[in-house]
A and B are shown apart, each in its own frame.
Chain A
């Protein structure tokens, strides 16, 4: 499957390989007043699992004119106890209503013994975990009737038991389940700083043909007493280091739908749109490279990597 468009049998609008923004309630008035000034939007699925009210009404209005991507934080694909069927049913109901162009979740867990922890907690990358997440993804994909995109987490720590590298783990999930990868370039950078690895090698190990979307966001340094770590707080502009890693990613993997995430310390909508324009500029440069036949993804990687057959909005 080419990167990106994974809808099956719905009226879902495909998500183009350009920049989109995370839709936030605080921006909704400015978003409507500005004539829906983004090519597509992404929402957190769980925020729309509400009985009614303005939030759902706003999304109904947006989806009439813009493609929507549904990004979940609650399926807990890494839970040892399996995926919660009631939550899966809520997700299916939401997808029927919103008809998203892309649906994504995380390589992480949040639920144990009936408690939901509002964080994307890390897995130990073992054969046991690989088999478990594979089964959970297969169960979900069967229920929703379409492939999921799985996002790489940001990490501040690693477990002694891990025996598989994260990109290998993701590649293996994609190979075994047919799921795609949502490559969060900021998360790769954050983890690389905290855990001390080369982010370029990580990107190189991701199978380009499985990548269906990118995320970009800001991160922050936090002092935890004994040392400083960085966390993906999605509360600032994308850093120069992450833009540079994004250029590297585009050269290796190629253009895909790219989301600017901004979840805390929200700026004015205009600043978020500025970030989207920067992402579009980077995507544009990568597309020019492709037109010149110099995209690394076809040459250097030398694999059956089809460049994304996605609708360009520009």
Chain B
């Protein structure tokens, strides 16, 4: 039966039991040839991951990354053939590896790689047209406005200096030893190129709330990254700790997002 042959070959190709497949081979096909399929499948998955997680690949080096990628591939083969989307969960897989093999900041660096990879392939969207942007400035009260942001926009926050680590990897330099020091990064692809920008904790919280469809008032009122998630769950009424010059900071942030083409729409409905 064909289904049995396919299960037997899949097991061999994913590095599992080879015996069922060996029993099906023609007598002129030596058993060692099954390794060709295992190498293509697991090596291929590791290559796909290396392309999607370039900073992790740089950190681990080719050989170690191949081992990690093959390990992930063997237990999490893709469910779909369009492989641009393969590799979700790789950061968690890295986090579960022994610390002597994987630096503690590597899972967060993987999340940043993933965010950039997703941003590259995210849906295209037109920036807010100038007329509509002018409508925005005419509103008497902006606090109830919710923004539609570009589909590629993401915020990645970490207890580690991931922006510094990402730049080091991008420049092909040896990865430094680092101590915990929170950094947050904005990732977006407004047109062709993926941007990666260091954010202050306040900016990260602000954009994070806008991304989760919070109102501008809510986003303006938070004070830190940790507070962003809390506000979202307990409601904006609890907003507090405004930074001293909130209005100016909000304006700067909105202008930046508009200029980058990352605001694609808004609504001021309650």
Contact = CB atoms under 8 A, between A and B. Distances in A.
Interface in B3-23: 3, 5-7, 9-10, 13-14
What is the interface residue range for chain B against chain A?
35 or more
Residue of B5, B35, B40 contacting most chain A CB atoms (<10 Å): B5
A246 interface: no
Interface in B130-173: 151
Contacts of B238: none
Contacts of A87: 80-81
30 contacts: A52-B121, A53-B122, A53-B124, A54-B120, A57-B124, A74-B81, A78-B2, A80-B6, A112-B9, A116-B79, A116-B81, A117-B10, A117-B13, A118-B41, A118-B45, A118-B78, A119-B44, A121-B6, A121-B9, A126-B2, A159-B25, A159-B29, A161-B5, A194-B33, A195-B29, A196-B28, A224-B32, A224-B35, A225-B35, A227-B32
B2 A128 contact: yes
Contacts of A81: 3
Contacts, number: 145
B196 interface: no
B10 A115 contact: yes
Residue of B7, B77, B123 most packed against chain A (CB within 10 A): B77
Closest A-B pairs by Cβ, 10 of them:
A74-B81, A157-B29, A52-B124, A49-B82, A80-B3, A51-B123, A158-B26, A112-B6, A52-B123, A80-B2
Interface of B: 1-3, 5-7, 9-10, 13-14, 24-30, 32-37, 40-41, 44-45, 48, 77-84, 120-125, 151, 189, 192
A145 to B, nearest CB: 21
Interface string A256-278: 00000000000000000000000
Given A46-B81, A224-B36, A157 B2 contact: no
Contacts of B79: 114-116
A73 interface: yes
B125 to A, nearest CB: 8
A160 B27 CA distance: 7
A118 B74 CA distance: 12
A47 interface: yes
B82 A90 contact: yes
